[in-house]
Structure 1
Amino acid sequence: MFSLTDLGEASGSHSKAPGLFAVNADGSRMRMLVRQTQNFITTDGTDRDALHWNHRLKMIPEPGAGVKNDQLLLVEMGGVDGFYVESPVWMNVNTGSTRAYTDAAPANSFHWVVNDQGAPRATVAMKDGRVQAHWLPPGKTEWAQLYDAPSLNQPFQLEGVSAQGELYVSHVPKGGTYRVLTRYDAQAQAPMDPPLVRVPGFDFQGHLIREGGTVLGVRTMADSEATVWLDERMKKFQAQVDQLLVGKLNSIQCRRCGQPDMVALVRSYNDHDPGKLWLYQAKPPQGENRWRAIGRIREAVQPDQMAGVDLQTIKARDGHELPVWITRPDNAKGPLPAVVLVHGGPWVRGSSWQWNDWPQYLASRGYVVIEPEFRGSTGYGEAHFRAGFRQWGQAMQDDVTDALRWAQKKGLASDRACIMGASYGGYATLMGLAKDPEVYRCGVAWVAVSDLELLVQGSWWVPDDFGMARRLTIPEMVGDGRQDAAMLAANSPVRLAARMKAPLLLAYGEEDRRVPLAHGTRMRDALAAAARPPEWVTYAGEAHGFTKRENRLDFARRVEVFLGKHLAPAQQ
């Protein structure tokens, strides 16, 4: 079972969806199950029976789960009243026939939690601009409401369900700081205490590892990925793998987990190495070893030439604790020219301890890379997340500069610094050049928000995909278009072009509907009017990010040349 992505096609192209294909284990009978809008693969002619492109795979029921092995669970994606919804659909992989899930589940659900048999047991839906969660308690035939809450104030989140019908949820305990994983207490109608998994210093972000209806463990994220095995056999196997593959994070996926005939795929990686894949067979075929290396991820990368990654926690100017990632060449001596790389989102976690392409690319050119997890980033506690509300260009921006100042005081970075980022990171780049013009020698911004009024209020003449966010979250997280008009104007880079002094590389995708090209052209024109024209490039067919190989290479080379011109690397 597989989907396809054409890396030779730009991200904004609408000519192909990923589709869904099936093939027999011996390579015979290739068939299309879910269409792409145009075909580029030869199948056995069943394409005419394939489902429309707006279907995606939800799950493949496990062997022994009581479901025939020719059945798949898909979801049909659609929209109701401007909100995204999903509808479960069963498909026979051999015949292409389908049947809809017909039980009286809550309407307008956009998230379905299913058990190992593919039976829905919990849903999250939208109604009247509020989020409603429901579940089907064990032994019951009617759905029960778990909560009805504003989007930004949901009491907990659904994480999974066991074969016995136990519901797993994550929440921030009363008086607590970080999100934890626990079970839901049906009698108390609340999350259980104490939690099942707590990640010190971090929110729980992860998923359940299930097989045969049993929850074997939990995969979560601290500074790096971590696995908490609840199954003693898998806990023991993890220890054996870690002893064998020393100095690496070893992420295990398995079938027949912990059984005498277990088969496991292990990704072994660290901050220098994107990873190597190992196959483990507890009962290998005759003549084969239990362990076999089957491939490398990004095999052209030479780990011994890569840079180390470190997570530090610093104090911002107002005393707020701020996580900061530092990527620095291993052989570096003394302060290096710095690139402050600001993540997009902004309401996401920026990085983790592993190999990442942009920081490593920049470090290989002689720069120290500083990635602040500014307030508003997720994964570092509820207070850190909410401290970013209505702080675009303000405390969120100060965090970025404070991270650079800290690195300079620690002797990691010199006084030569540039700032760069995409999407929100591009916005922070533009604001950094306007708010702290004496700090940065240059900036690189791509698919960058430049006009907060356009972001918050939208425009009939500039189509984008922010409609639902404007209704649910943008007024509280960024600002209200009417009540906060002065604040939004004061923190819109397009209005601050005259304050920007440093050279700027500005890049956009011409088909971007998340941050439309109008953000770029307005910023470009404002800078030109201020006699500070940027270096400007757009990519045909690209959307919110560049995927076509030649475009990615072109942009990376432009960045290298631009930084080399305005921010001399360490060896110069």
Structure 2
Amino acid sequence: MTVNMKFPIPSVVFTTLLLSSHAAVAAAPPAEAFFGEPEISKAVLSPKGNYVAYLYTDAQRRQMVQVRDTRNLKSATIAAVSKSEDAPIYSIHWVNEDRLTFTVKDLRVEFEGNYEEIAVNRDGSNVTHLISGNWYHRQEKTGSHMKDRVLTAAYAYYGPTHDGSDDIVVEKHIWNNIDRQPDTSRLYRLNTRTRTLSDLLPGTQPGRVQAWLLDTDDTPRIAYSKDKGRCILSYREKDGKDWTEISNAECYRDTVFAPEFFDSRNTLYVTANYKGHKALYTFDIAKRQRAADPLLVLEGFDFNGSPHIDYAARKLLGLDFLSDARSTVWFDPAMKAAQQKIDALVPGRSNRISCSADCRDPVALLVESSSDRQPTEYLVYTPATNAIVSLGGRHPAIKRADMGQREFHRIAARDGLKIPLYVTTPPGKAEGPLPVVMLVHGGPWVRGSSWEWDDEAQFLASRGYLVLQPEFRGSRGFGVAHFKAGWQQWGRTMQDDLADTAQWAIKQGLADPRRIAIMGASYGGYATLMGLIRNPELFRCGIDLVGVTDIDLMFTSARGDFSEHSLRYDMRTLIGDPDKDADVFRQNSPVALAGQLTQPLLIAHGAEDRRVPIEHAKRLRSALSGNNKQLEWVVYADEGHGLRHENNRIDFYKRVDAFLQGACK
């Protein structure tokens, strides 16, 4: 059976898009309402559906894991409380119906890692420290068996087991003494009460493993490795010891298929090309061949999703996926009916359902609900009574009626390539062309946005700005050709797509051509700088957060965290060769072109950034010192590549607000 999902492209409706910037500004919620720690987040349903756990942040900014009985939601039990603001809880995982674990990140250390893992009963008893976050002691001492004591920071939570035991799966990262990133990893079972560690793999494993795929019995079956520019897939039978190579291809260029998941009947599902886009197929491992027809095709989009599996019934129930918005296709009639009932109770939203491990007769379903104007809210649905109850949401101070609408479009670039685009409009009445902020996503080889709630876009829209978020060439999720069109195009056709988006908005009568700002983080920061340089006639001012300023420095900085493999292979494919393309790098690096950057500019960077070290920002600041008198500069001493701390996020967006109203006016 092939499910072909089509998504109509909405046309521009001028009566809703030509809005006033004045009515929106007066009632704009403060930055804290958008960028403060969420009140309720990370909700997860227990394996049998009897309980839901979630992260709650109180008025004193304390985080705690709360648990509610889905059969009686009136009272909450506190299972855990975070130690400090510098150690927030990042995720919550059920182990079984009585026990859960949660992950804590030490924000005093910027780079990835330093994750604590702690287990606790749902009533707060029997706390067990499983993994230490002391990064400086990540390696084991020689001869240690690590059987019954706290694991080092080399280990991290990987996933649950599905057998009702007290075990979880953990991943041990192994370094090569050259890179800051791990070279390979290995999987283990860890008992959350006794801390007993047991190997999940018999014998040896493939080298340089970057990712694993487990079947529904929690057995590693696929290992994904990268070596010398090649992506290698190795497979083992459920009870086998030997690994067999089933694919060995040049990364990015020759990859034929990508494993996605096993269902409970041991069928492997993969993504592979279908008319230029990735579709979902079943795969015959023995024949190393995908099925003739895809299971799921998303017209105009690559498949990007995850399965719903009933572990008790050993059945694939449905698939979550992302097209222009998040959605679900259900193969199971009962779950399809439940989705329809929930959508009727909560209309106009994307309602993502979580089912327990046994979905045949669920006690309750957890619903993660959001829309373009509604921040994520968590609801519990009881099938027996068709009742739905809200647990609360991420940003309860924000009212749907005060937010703007988001629309999805595809517009034509100058060479004819179709550029997906999200447009967020301010609330209010139509009065004429609007001031614009173009948000450029980071990556850049990722999907940038979706139709659902976007903190940043709605914050800007609430201030009266039309927000444009183009999925420029090189972005993923929109077909192979769209992705490859961005290879080695930093500062060139990738930049043209941004200019073409601005021109489209002007021609549609949506954008005031004298009031267009450009803004982004990481690659988006780079594109902001290049937008000001390449198209000063379009972009009035810019905001650069942790942006790249020198392409060559990405390859040469001693503080950077890219692995040798990435520098030698991946980045040369996607960005270019620092030796052969040295002139091209200089011609498209903001530092080398700083004399042309004269518009108002806000630069913000983290002092501890490893992905884009602060020397990028410092070099640009130095280069601009004699040319740009409209530079605003802020360094966050305790931040890395992004804004993890609540106070810094709020401070940054208050600066953005003031900058746009002042220097960019």
Q: Structure 1 residues 207-216 or 437-446, which shifts more?
A: 207-216
Classify 1:85/1:156 alpha carbon distance in 2 versus 1 (closer, same or farther; 3 Å): same
**Number of the residue aligned with 2:266:** 165
* TM-aligned CA deviation for residue 141 of structure 1: 5.3
1:180 and 1:203 in contact (8 A); partners too: yes
**Number of the residue aligned with 2:415:** 318
1:204 and 1:220 in contact (8 A); partners too: yes
Counterpart mapping for 1:52-91 below 5 A: 52-62=152-162, 67=163, 69-80=165-176, 82=179, 84-91=183-190
Is the counterpart of residue 190 in structure 1 residue 190 in structure 2?
no
Residue deviations 1:19-47 (CA, integer Å, cap 9, x gap): 11111132211221111229xxxxxxx99
Counterpart CA distance in 2 for 1:304 and 1:5 is 35
Is the counterpart of residue 434 in structure 1 residue 533 in structure 2?
yes
Counterpart CA distance in 1 for 2:395 and 2:147 is 33
| Residue identity in the other structure for 2:215 | N
* TM-aligned CA deviation for residue 382 of structure 1: 0.5
Is the counterpart of residue 298 in structure 1 residue 398 in structure 2?
no
* TM-aligned CA deviation for residue 466 of structure 1: 5.0
Is the counterpart of residue 499 in structure 1 residue 596 in structure 2?
yes
Counterpart CA distance in 2 for 1:275 and 1:27 is 27
Q: Which has the higher contact order (CA 8 A, sep 6+)?
A: 2
Of 425, 436, 448, 1:338 maps to 436
Of 342, 366, 373, 2:464 maps to 366
| Residue identity in the other structure for 2:541 | C
* TM-aligned CA deviation for residue 332 of structure 1: 4.2
**Number of the residue aligned with 2:257:** 156
Residue deviations 1:214-272 (CA, integer Å, cap 9, x gap): 32211110001111112222112111111221111110001155422442101121100
**Number of the residue aligned with 2:346:** 245
Residue deviations 1:312-336 (CA, integer Å, cap 9, x gap): 1100111111111101113242211
1:510 and 1:541 in contact (8 A); partners too: yes
What number of residue pairs does the alignment pair up? 547
Counterpart CA distance in 2 for 1:426 and 1:126 is 29
Classify 1:84/1:216 alpha carbon distance in 2 versus 1 (closer, same or farther; 3 Å): farther
Q: Structure 1 residues 83-92 or 318-327, which shifts more?
A: 83-92
Q: TM-score, normalised by structure 1?
A: 0.91
Residue deviations 1:363-390 (CA, integer Å, cap 9, x gap): 1111101111100000011100000011
Counterpart CA distance in 2 for 1:559 and 1:247 is 31
**Number of the residue aligned with 1:425:** 524
**Number of the residue aligned with 1:379:** 477
Over the matched positions of the two proteins, sequence identity in percent amounts to 35
Counterpart CA distance in 2 for 1:129 and 1:71 is 36
**Number of the residue aligned with 2:226:** 126
**Number of the residue aligned with 1:136:** 236
* TM-aligned CA deviation for residue 165 of structure 1: 2.1
* RMSD of aligned Cα (Å): 2.2
1:121 and 1:165 in contact (8 A); partners too: no
Classify 1:323/1:394 alpha carbon distance in 2 versus 1 (closer, same or farther; 3 Å): same
* TM-aligned CA deviation for residue 191 of structure 1: 1.8
| Residue identity in the other structure for 2:259 | L
Counterpart CA distance in 1 for 2:242 and 2:128 is 38
2:491 and 2:527 in contact (8 A); partners too: yes
1:10 and 1:548 in contact (8 A); partners too: no
Secondary structure in structure 1 of the residue aligned to 2:102: coil
Which segments of 5 or more consecutive residues in structure 2 lack a partner in the other structure? 1-99, 136-145
Counterpart CA distance in 1 for 2:310 and 2:361 is 15
Counterpart CA distance in 2 for 1:58 and 1:559 is 37
Classify 1:132/1:13 alpha carbon distance in 2 versus 1 (closer, same or farther; 3 Å): closer
| Residue identity in the other structure for 1:89 | Y
**Number of the residue aligned with 1:443:** 542
**Number of the residue aligned with 1:557:** 654
**Number of the residue aligned with 1:348:** 446
Classify 1:356/1:76 alpha carbon distance in 2 versus 1 (closer, same or farther; 3 Å): same
Residue deviations 1:150-180 (CA, integer Å, cap 9, x gap): 221321111011233211111113xx21101
Secondary structure in structure 2 of the residue aligned to 1:123: strand
Classify 1:190/1:178 alpha carbon distance in 2 versus 1 (closer, same or farther; 3 Å): same
Secondary structure in structure 2 of the residue aligned to 1:566: coil
Secondary structure in structure 2 of the residue aligned to 1:295: strand
Counterpart mapping for 1:108-123 below 5 A: 108-123=208-223
1:347 and 1:378 in contact (8 A); partners too: yes
| Residue identity in the other structure for 1:29 | N
